[in-house]
Amino acid sequence: MANLSLRGLDRSTLSRLKSNARRRGISVNRLIVETLERQYSAGTTTFDDLDALASTWTKAEGDAFAAAVAPFADIDPGLWAAEPKAAYRVKRAAKRRPRR
């Protein structure tokens, strides 16, 4: 394994690294190694989607989730009324004639 010295790191970034490492229960070195490996490892593709959760909930769990997020579907008209109207108009692009 190669060693690497890291110089010129500002205090706030170091503080965030230490905090993140402490929260995860790993060393700052391990955090940096994992981050670099995740970013630069060849041929490794990771996905940040929810495919792993598909079809894992029971009907009761799905119903509970649907009930919990139902209020987010409501739109408060009062919030939209407070928004100012745009002070500008967007010009539409002129139709282009096909090239010959």
Q: Where are the domains of the chain?
A: 10-42
C-beta separation of 55 from 65 below 8 A: no
What is the C-alpha separation between 44 and 36, in angstroms, rounded? 12
For residue 35, give the amino acid letter: T
Count of other CB atoms within 10 angstroms of residue 34 = 13
What is the C-alpha separation between 10 and 3, in angstroms, rounded? 21
Question: Residue 17's closest CA among 41, 43, 36?
Answer: 36
What is the C-alpha separation between 60 and 33, in angstroms, rounded? 41
Per-residue confidence in pLDDT tens, the chain, 100 aa: 788 888 999 999 999 999 999 999 999 999 999 999 888 887 666 667 777 777 788 899 989 999 999 988 888 777 777 666 666 666 676 676 777 6
Single pTM value for the model:
0.42
